[in-house]
Amino acid sequence: MTRVFSGMQPTGGLHLGNHLGALVNWVRMQDTADVTYCVVDLHAITMGHDPAILADRTLGLAMEFVAAGVDPDRSTLFVQSHLGDVHAEMTWLFSSVTGVGELQKMPQYREKSERVTGKHAQVTAGLLTYPVLQTSDILLYDADEVPVGEDQRHHIEIARDIGGRFNHRYGDVFVLPRAIFPEAAARVMDLQDPTAKMSASADSDKGRINLQDDPDRILKKVRSAQTDSGRDVAYDRADKAGISNLLEVMSAATGRSIDDLVEEYADAGYGTFKGAVAEAVVELLRPMQERHAELAADPGEMQRILADGAAKAREVSAPRLAAAKDAMGFLPA
């Protein structure tokens, strides 16, 4: 059976882009693969973080996963720091087969280190070695496939490089993973600026539908979404970016084809169409929000799920770490 691994950082609540671009795939892959999903909290501390909210965000992200349909009985769901011993030790071993130059070349490192430079903040060693920890996450679980966004392309490539180098030097221990990218249609754009991706870090919240937004807020945001001055609802990514984004969102939310939607709404006017899009999004999110409220009312239950997940994850990853140490020739304890 194909093994799948992916993770997200607990940096705040999720939005519709995270759901349609990532979570929907995660949920679907449970049907055909052996899946492991991780809240990668050890990755969330490399640029400074607020200790007062890290734990809540970690638990909250795990709840969003489950509310979206990640099923603890058919997947392994765990928090990275709960296996910090295994992941951190593996990272140390991998760091000895990783070049500093390789890490300095990573686009995400360059971008993030530029962002902190000049703000009297430090470019931390953690920011540089971030991809080595990510390599450990993936390789410790024998992942064949890693569903991620395009921006993670280089991180999966370096995981293959590091794993390949380890295998070459010390013997075949690790499976080399490949990245699985969502289809183009799964890129949800900002409602206020349909040329930019919907993003957690956008200055304004108006262009972003958060998974926990109430129906009223969703309606307001969709109604004020930027559109062109035309009148017909048509699919044209270049000239009608706003309408096209709404068509894609509605198509993803309802399972109806874009052609089908265009046929129904072509002459309906933007107002009517936006009302229908908002309703479709509200209906998509309603069951998830209900499930989320139940989970939030009983955090102990989520803690138990994560404790089970950590135990299952350890059964897979601890033997991989042991095999790596054995291959490298360490004296058994």
Residues making contact with ligand AMP (CB under 6 A): 8-9, 17-18, 21-22, 148-149, 186-188, 197-200
Question: Are the CB atoms for 43 and 81 separated by under 8 Å?
Answer: no
> Whole-number minimum distance, CB 288 to ligand TRP, in Å?
21
> Whole-number minimum distance, CB 117 to ligand AMP, in Å?
22
From 16, 20, 35, 138, residue interacting with ligand TRP (rule: CB under 6 A) = 138
Task: Kindly write out the interface string for residues 213-242 of this chain, putting x where it contacts ligand TRP by CB under 6 A and - elsewhere.
Answer: ------------------------------
Cα separation, 269 vs 308, in Å, equals 51
3-state SS string over 36-97? Answer: EEEECHHHHHCCCCCHHHHHHHHHHHHHHHHHHCCCCCCEEEEEHHHHHHHHHHHHHHHHCC
Q: Pick the closer one to ligand TRP by CB: 93 or 243.
A: 93
Q: Counting contacts by CB under 6 A, is residue 194 touching ligand TRP? A: no
Cα separation, 268 vs 233, in Å, equals 8
Q: What is the DSSP letter of 4?
A: E
Cα separation, 244 vs 187, in Å, equals 12
Instruction: Find tokens 């953690």 and name the residue.
Output: 126
Question: Are the CB atoms for 283 and 253 separated by under 8 Å?
Answer: yes
Q: Counting contacts by CB under 6 A, is residue 155 touching ligand TRP? A: yes
Q: Which of the stretches 146-154, 188-196, 248-256, 275-283 binds ligand TRP when contact is defined by CB under 6 A?
A: 146-154
Q: Counting contacts by CB under 6 A, is residue 7 touching ligand TRP? A: yes
Q: Pick the closer one to ligand TRP by CB: 80 or 227.
A: 80
| Secondary structure class of 7 (helix, strand, coil) | strand
> Whole-number minimum distance, CB 170 to ligand TRP, in Å?
22
The residues that touch ligand TRP, with contacts defined as CB under 6 A, are 5-9, 40, 43, 134, 137-138, 146, 148, 152, 155
